[in-house]
Amino acid sequence: MNLFNDKLHKGKEGLKKFSRRAQEKVLQKLGTHVGTNDPRFDDTINRVERLDKNLHTMYNAMSDYILSMEQMQLASVRMASTFESLLKEENEEFIKARIAESYSNNSDNKPQTKSELPVDNETLKVVENFVEETKILEQWTKKVISNTCKEMIVRPAGEKLKEIPGLHKTIAHRQQKLLDYDAYRRKQDAEKNPESEQSLKIATKLESAHSKVNSVTNEVITACATIENGKTKLFLDGFASLVACQTMINLRSAQKLEPYLPMLPQAAPALCMICSKTNEENLRNVAADTKK
């Protein structure tokens, strides 16, 4: 029976709180009553919300970077493999044509035409080796570079983001306590006799509500400081890791693929276009425009 009465009492108290807070919220929205303003608290929350937004931006951008990096390497494999298939097909078609020509010449007692393959075996071997190198680079990028990005950039950002939802719950709890405080403050302001028993009860509840608001406020501010701690290091470490990953992708690609250039004289026109003075000037112009 006592347990039932306790639950009934708690239920009534909960209903009173809900009604009091709902009424106070409506009055504040209507402008009938002005809620308590705490600039220091608001500034702290704004900083954390900005950090939350920045972390999400960094997390999403790095996830896109990893995906794009892997897709670029995979596209390189597919493109190289496509050219390999096309060049082998050229030789196969040539051989088929020569076999057909051979049968025709033999039946007509004509001499066979001597000719070379469209793609010589040495060049075809270069193509095959290049394709294998692109496959190795693609796997290396996925297993080494992507995992490094995830470990050094994505994971720290994700761990920091996990701290914020708990803070939002505490902020919401503080808001409920603040509505209690504002409601009692409004009732106290409405009391005409500050010495009455009712007025003294309200003053006691107001003091208690104020104490609870301060307690939760300090809890939120401490949590915010914990979340903000190390954010500069997190961003700087993330940037340095990005530079390391991007540099090693380009460096390893150059080390593995550059030796193929002397084997392919057909690459000369493309290299001349890439390294032309005009393109270098365009690059400098782009860089200058970006700095403006």
The single-letter DSSP state of residue 113 is P
pLDDT at 237: 94
pLDDT at 218: 92
Cα dist from 180 to 104, 188, 219, whole Å? 102, 12, 18
pLDDT at 269: 92
b/e map 176-202, b = 16+ CB within 10 Å: ebbbbbbbbbbbeeeeeeeeeeebeeb
Q: Model confidence over 40-49: pLDDT tens digits?
A: 888 988 999 9
Structure tokens belonging to residue 27: 């009055």
From the list 213, 251, 228, the residue with the least C-alpha distance to 21 is 213
Q: Model confidence over 252-268: pLDDT tens digits?
A: 999 999 999 999 999 99
pLDDT at 13: 65
pLDDT at 109: 54
pLDDT at 132: 97
Cβ pair 165, 223 in contact under 8 A: no
Cβ pair 76, 137 in contact under 8 A: yes
Other C-beta atoms lying within 10 Å of the C-beta of residue 218:
12
Distance CA 274, CA 259 (A): 18
pLDDT at 8: 45
Cβ pair 220, 41 in contact under 8 A: yes
Q: Which stretches in the chain have pLDDT values below 70?
A: 1-14, 24, 105-115, 286-288, 290-292
Q: What share of the chain is helix, strand, coil (3-state, %, to 5)?
A: 90, 0, 10
pLDDT at 152: 93
Please give the distance of CA 219 from its chain centroid, rounded to a whole number: 29
